[in-house]
Amino acid sequence: MSGRMDGKVALVTGGSSGIGRATAIAFAKEGGKVVIAARRVPEGEETVRQIVEAGGEATFVQTDVTQALEVQTLVDRTLERYGRLDCAFNNAGSGKPGKLIELAEADWEQEMAVNLKSVWLCLKYEIPAMLRSGKGAIVNMSSQGGILGVPNYGAYAAAKGGVAALTRAAAAEYAANGIRINAVSPGAVETELWANAPAGMLEQVATGIPLQRVGQPNDIAEAVLWLCSAAAGFVTGQNLAIDGGYTTSN
C-alpha cells in the first residue's frame, strides 16, 4: 500500500464501524499506519483485521473518549508504538432523541460528554503529540444537525454546533504551529444506525436531498482523507458539509 498517507500515523476514534471504520481503511490504503480507538473490542479488532488482511498496518486500543485518562493513554500508546502522530479523526459520538423539555439532566450531560467533551479531550492530548513533530492535521466530527435545527435532537445539535465552534478556535490557536484543524458535517449517511429504520425510510430521506441519494461511509472517509493530506495544506478552521447539498437548499 502506498499513497497520500505514506509514512504517516493516523488515529481514528469510533473506528469500530461505519464512518470510522471506512476512514481507518482509507488511511491504511493510502499507506498510513492506523490506530483505531473504540469501546467495542470485537468490532474494533475486526477493523484491524480488515486492514491487515489488505496489507496495511493497524492496531486497536479500547478507549472511552469521554474519559481523560483513557484518551491520554490512547495517545501515549500511539507514540510508544509509532513514535509520532500525524493525523487524527475525532469521530466517536452518538445521538439520543428527545424533546428538550423532556430530557433529563443526565441525558443532556451524556450528549455533551460523548459529542463535545470527547473532542476537546482528544485535541488536548493529540495537539501536544503533533507539536513534537512541528505539524499535523486533525478532523473533528460535527454534523448537519449542528448547522440546521433538528427537532427532537436539541442536545445533539448543540453539542455538534459546539464541535464546529471548538474547531475554529483550535485552528486559530495552533495554525502558527503547523497544525491544521477542520471539521466535517455529514448529513444522512447509510450506517448501522439505520439498521432498524422502517422499510423505505432511506429512500424517502433521499428524495429530500438535492443529489437524490443518502451518503455512504466512504463519501465521508474520502473527505477526511483529503483534509488530512498535503492537498489540503492551506485549509484550516473549516466545517465541511458533506450532505448532498441538503444544507444549501434548506
Q: Which residues are catalytic?
A: 156
**How many angstroms separate the CA atoms of 206 and 200, rounded?**
10
The residues, ordered by sequence, that sit 6+ positions from 165 with a Cβ below 8 Å of its Cβ are none
* DSSP summary character for residue 153: B
Q: Is residue 187 a contact partner of residue 247, using CB atoms and an 8 Å limit?
A: yes
Beta strands in 97-150 (DSSP E): 136-141
- CA gyration radius, the chain: 17
**How many angstroms separate the CA atoms of 25 and 58, rounded?**
9
The residues, ordered by sequence, that sit 6+ positions from 185 with a Cβ below 8 Å of its Cβ are 142, 143, 144, 146, 147, 160, 164, 239, 240, 241, 242, 243, 247
